[in-house]
Amino acid sequence: MTAPKPVIILVQPQLGENIGKAARAMLNFGLTEMRLVAPRDGWPNPSAGPAASGADLVLEQAQVFDTLAKAVADCSTVYASTVRRRELVVPVIGPEEMAQRIVGLTGRSAILFGPERSGLATEDVAVADAIVTVPINPEFGSLNLAQAVILLAYEWSRSQDLAQPTVREVEPPAPHADVDGLIGHWEAELDAVGYFFPPERTQATRNTIRTIFTKTGWSTREIKAVRGMLRAVVNRRPPRA
């Protein structure tokens, strides 16, 4: 049985733009259920839609609660996202362990995120079964709301079979004969315009040209393209007197 997707709960979010950006981060990684606890500027918020950049589904389905207790009432496991030290006897885990735990659950789980300015209050963290935090620069631990959401949503998504953008197959390297043909083509045209000068430097220059063209891992298609470009340039060259 597949574990339910975690619910993302924003506790007292302040700006509509940040709610929208959090929604966008959620949908990027397949999460669609957002809950808002006492949003400062009310809900719906006209600034959220443009910031969501198409994640309207998340915003349209967002639920609003007046207390955190009500927002997590149907969740069996709650994680509090914070980078601040707390004087609470609550386990502290990393994003990877959080994701592994969520995948192994049968009940609903929720991840809490606090207000942009101050983060989660201690009493909000006390509701959680565990604190989840990310390794971060101790001299600058400021993550904005959407950044925090996207980090944990991504970690959860790694356990899912989300489709990845199609990766183009790597073209096989061109055979040496094709590379030699390209080099010979360049050398012939350069020789025709007197590029190899002075004569005593000719071989060294040819060696440099060969080095340039043999260390790039050309495919046959790329070689044909470069030679086609060279022919186009040569054909536009005025005839020699």
Domain assignment present for residue 126? The answer is yes
Question: How much is the pTM?
Answer: 0.69
Domain assignment present for residue 101? The answer is yes
Are 211 and 102 found together in one domain?
Answer: no
Are 76 and 17 found together in one domain?
Answer: yes
Domain assignment present for residue 114? The answer is yes
In CATH, what number is assigned to the domain containing residue 81? 3.40.1280.10
Domain assignment present for residue 124? The answer is yes
**C-alpha dist (Å) from residue 164 to 21, 89, 167, 168:** 21, 40, 8, 12
Q: What is the tens place of the pLDDT at every residue in 22-33?
A: 999 999 999 999
Under the banding of pLDDT at 50, 70 and 90, the label for residue 167 is: low
Residue-averaged pLDDT of the chain: 88
Are 201 and 89 found together in one domain?
Answer: no
Burial class from Cβ neighbours inside 10 Å (0-12, 13-18, 19+) for residue 50 reads exposed
Are 99 and 207 found together in one domain?
Answer: no
pLDDT of residue 169: 61
Are 112 and 204 found together in one domain?
Answer: no
Q: What is the tens place of the pLDDT at every residue in 55-106?
A: 999 999 999 999 999 999 999 999 999 877 667 888 999 999 999 999 988 8
Q: What is the tens place of the pLDDT at every residue in 106-131?
A: 889 999 999 988 889 999 999 999 99
Are 93 and 202 found together in one domain?
Answer: no
Domain assignment present for residue 2? The answer is no
Domain assignment present for residue 129? The answer is yes
How many structural domains comprise the chain?
A: 2
Are 30 and 75 found together in one domain?
Answer: yes
Domain assignment present for residue 21? The answer is yes
Are 47 and 132 found together in one domain?
Answer: yes
Domain that holds residue 61: 7-157
Are 98 and 211 found together in one domain?
Answer: no
Are 19 and 110 found together in one domain?
Answer: yes
Domain assignment present for residue 51? The answer is yes
